[in-house]
Amino acid sequence: MSENKGKEVAIPVPWGTVAAQSWGDGQGEKWLLIHGWLDNSNSFHYLAPLLSQRGDTVIAIDLPGSGHSSWLPQGLMYHDLEFLGAIHRVIKYLKWVEFGLIGHSLGGGLALTYAATFPEQVTHLIMLDITYLPVRPLTPPQFQLRIRQAIESIELAEAKFGTGNGKVYKTKEDVRDRMMQPPVYLRFQDEGVLETYTPESADILLERGLKEVEGGFVLRRDIRLVLPSIHHIDWNDQREQAKEIKCPHLIIEASKGPKSKFAHSMYDIYRLNPKFKQVDIEGLHHVHLNQHQTVNKVIMDFLDECDRNKKAKL
């Protein structure tokens, strides 16, 4: 796996650092890559080096609390929307004026919201098996219940784990076996998701997401990331932000990924953008890792088409 590793980057933020990997320093496009919930920047193990071979500059971040990035200070909750602030700090640090965004799952939703909020900065938007910014799993939609569960959950987590990572696993294989079991919320959807990774994909993410401790191994991610979120974007706001995407926009949807009626309803809005393209691929939610060659070809063909269209207008 080491041949695909990027150069380690540590971007200073007020609570520590946002860790990242970088590939390439060419004169082509600039790309920021954002991984999904509970993953890390190794999510783009195959795609990032390929983009750099085009002469592009690629930065794949570990979101706060994930991978090698700093955790938020003790006592605070993670709000997925506040990841956008961390992303903006990264962009400001890099001094990027224009760049493309690629995100998987939660990362794709974050990329969408960032592109809608700062449209003058984003040249391309590529979303992998997601069409909107999802609600963090196990978060109740009802206002009072959501707030109560978020507050009580962090109290319980602090009492049980303190500031630790959570469960200690005896071997790396034990961790992989746990990863291969999809979260409960996926299994009980209308179209139950019974798997998301292949063993090879899980190993790629664990290479960056695992830490050895006394007695075995722990996942590097902050346990607070799995707790219910205290707030999320209203559905109407999600639809409105979709109207703001005017740049070339690609969504790749995996046939066996998580589905929802709301997610598919977003396509009617996206199709108002003449630069929008949707591609369906047979595969699991982590299709960009499991079937990277197929996904990467779709992305590269899309970028080649964008380049041709751009040149045709010059």
| Pairing relationship of beta strands 57-61 and 7-13 according to DSSP bridges | unpaired
Look up 66 and say whether it is catalytic: no
Measure the CA–CA gap between 67 and 62, rounded to whole angstroms: 5
Measure the CA–CA gap between 49 and 51, rounded to whole angstroms: 5
Q: Active site residue: 22, 43, 66, 105, which one? A: 105
Strands (E), 220-293: 249-256, 276-284
CB 26 within 8 A of CB 56: yes
Question: What does 86-124 look like in DSSP terms, one character per residue?
Answer: HHHHHHHHHT-SSEEEEEETHHHHHHHHHHHHSTTTEEE
Give, in order, the Cα–Cα distances in Å from 47 to each of 53, 128, 255: 10, 12, 20
Annotated active-site positions, please? 105
